[in-house]
Homo-oligomer: A and B are copies of this chain.
Amino acid sequence: MPLNAYTEAERAAIYRVIYERRDMRHFLSDAIDPELLTRLLQAAHHAPSVGFMQPWRFIRITQPELRIAIHALVEQERIATANALNEREDEFMKLKVEGILECGEVLIAALCDKREHYIFGRRTLPEMDIASLSCAIQNMWLAARAEGIGLGWVSMFEPEALKTLLNMPQDSQPLGVLCLGHVKQFYDKPMLEQQHWAERQDLSNHRI
């Protein structure tokens, strides 16, 4: 047993949440307790970041008309994606994005502006800012699952259109529309696996 290992019960809880986290698309409309939401944001804020740049920003959408406008942007991109995928369109169109209108909270996960002077760890890999934001979202996702809150990461939108809608700085970059909310139940398997969109690959096949 390594030094500094957690107890068996703690390790079990951590593996449990890693295995039970799901990308949720179906929500109850109940509000999320503000203290719970703050705990989720704090979890995100304790992610690793390249050169400790902490590039993550979460924009809380509170105006119903803005949420409707975001939903319209996602719907537009859903149709564009379905056209691009033509042969799988029928299957694809079943994957709903209605969660944006139903869920308790919508957050926009974005990279902040003025990132170009952060060079440490990014000189040859500028995309490490995306990596840091993604780790923050994953922290939030795991914490949310443990709290019984579902999270869905929607990446079907035109980023420039979303920036314009939200009046975001030109050099910022939205990476996700995050839907958070209470759920009746979590999916047993990833929804795309349940829908036979794709299967989980074998770990042993995972070779370059």
In the complex, chain B residues whose CB is within 8 Å of the CB of A165: none
Number of copies: 2
Closest chain B residue, CB of each to CB of A56: B206
Within 8 A of B (CB), among A103-151: 110, 112-113, 119-125, 127-128, 130-135, 137-139, 141-143, 145-149
In the complex, chain B residues whose CB is within 8 Å of the CB of A47: 138
A72 vs B58: C-alpha distance when bound (angstroms): 38
Closest chain B residue, CB of each to CB of A45: B203
A128 vs B85: C-alpha distance when bound (angstroms): 17
Q: How large is the interface on A (under 10, 10 to 19, 20 to 34, 35 or more residues)?
A: 35 or more
Q: Which of B2, B14, B139, B198 contacts A149 (CB 8 A)?
A: B2
A47 vs B47: C-alpha distance when bound (angstroms): 15
Contact yes or no, A92 B120, CB < 8 A: yes
* A54 on the B face (CB < 8 A): yes
Contact yes or no, B19 A48, CB < 8 A: no
* A96 on the B face (CB < 8 A): no
* A23 on the B face (CB < 8 A): yes
A175 vs B130: C-alpha distance when bound (angstroms): 11
Contact yes or no, B77 A124, CB < 8 A: yes
Q: Which of B4, B50, B142, B159 contacts A124 (CB 8 A)?
A: B159
Q: Which of B5, B48, B184 contacts A146 (CB 8 A)?
A: B5
- Residue positions of A touching B, CB distance < 8 A: 1-6, 9-11, 13-19, 21, 23, 36, 38-39, 41-43, 45-48, 50-54, 56-59, 77, 80-81, 84-85, 92, 110, 112-113, 119-125, 127-128, 130-135, 137-139, 141-143, 145-149, 153, 155-159, 168-169, 172, 175-176, 182-186, 190, 192-193, 197-198, 200-201, 203, 206-208
